[in-house]
Structure 1
Amino acid sequence: MPALIMAGATLMAVAVVHRSLAMGRAWNSGLTAEARCLRSYTTISGGGDTSVSTTLHHVYQFMTRDGRTIRVEESNGPATVGEGDIVTVHYAAERPQQATAHAPHRGLPAAGTVSVLVICAVVVLICIGFMVGFHEFSSAWDSAWKAQE
């Protein structure tokens, strides 16, 4: 079980770094376009014994400078944007499908990325500690059991 938790934490860390790098590329490219919000919806996760969280999603469509029509979906966008609204998206020419409507904020996303990476590292270390401790406990148990025989 700890190995699965470690794998999940590692995958989460990779996804967060990937998204952070994609946003950085989009912001650093200097390319922007006007995009129309085609759809806005929320998803709800959790419930029961866990806390409920709501995520706001937007689907944007824009045209790149070379004339391609691109449609992107982005989560955690501003609640003030609704269907039909026009927003500015930032995108990299080589990856317009990773466009973002989030305004450039260098420090805040970096801090969020570092925070998630620290949490993932702590989870992995706890899992490693649990596995090492369990191994030592089971070895001691086996030794004690064999000594009784």
Structure 2
Amino acid sequence: MLALGATYGPGSVLLGLLVAAVGVVGLVSMVRAALVNRRTMREGALAEARCLEAYVVHNRSSDGYTTSQRRLILGFRTPEGREVRTEMVAHVPYAVGDIVPVRYLPECPERVVPAGASFGIDLASGLKGVVLVGVIYAGLSLTVLALGASGG
């Protein structure tokens, strides 16, 4: 047990708590974004935004895979006359000049969601949630192990 006590110390406890906190913050931010999207779909005002610009972003990972994401720059006017310009990830190909139906919350019209979108838990979100729960578990496990080894 002495070897474990020498390996784990107050720094290990703090590191474990920090890792767990990062996992909790990530999980809370994911859930919060999902709730805002759901509220926007349920309560948001409908707008017909015009596609001002369309482009594709390619992300290359270290293992050689490339993913592409279509993004749109949209512009619309709120009923109050405010001109809004915002960016959105598009799962449907739009061209410059196309009308894109979106929903937005009146207190934050820059944050839009596609009008016909459904926000369930997709595979990527589910995997991200599982990873974050694993990070929390690993951080708490390290903390408990360090506390047990140090006798405190």
- TM score, norm. by length of structure 2: 0.68
Alignment of 1:13-92 (within 5 A): 13-49=27-63, 51-75=65-89, 77-92=90-105
User: Residues 22 and 98 of structure 1 are in contact (CA less than 8 Å); yes or no, is this contact kept in structure 2?
Assistant: no
* Equivalent residues of 1:25, 1:91 under 8 A apart: no
Residues paired across the two proteins, number: 135
Gaps of 5+ in 1: 141-149
RMSD in angstroms over aligned alpha carbons?
A: 3.0
Q: Taking CA–CA contacts closer than 8 Å with sequence separation of 6 or more, which of the two structures ends up with the larger relative contact order?
A: 2
Query: After superposition, what is the alpha-carbon deviation per residue over 1:57-96, rounded to whole angstroms, capped at 9, x for unaligned?
Result: 2221111111111111122x22412322111011122221
- State which drifts further: 3-12 or 17-26: 3-12
Q: 2:136 aligns with which of 118, 124, 134?
A: 124
Aligned-residue identity in percent: 24
Range with bigger deviation, 14-23 or 1-10: 1-10
Instruction: Structure 2: give runs of 5+ residues left out of the alignment.
Output: 1-14
Secondary structure in 1 matching 2:80: coil
Change (3 A) 1:35 1:13: same
User: What's the TM-score once normalised by structure 1's chain length?
Assistant: 0.69
Q: C-alpha separation between the residues in 2 aligned to 1:57 and 1:11?
A: 27
Aligned to 1:101: 114
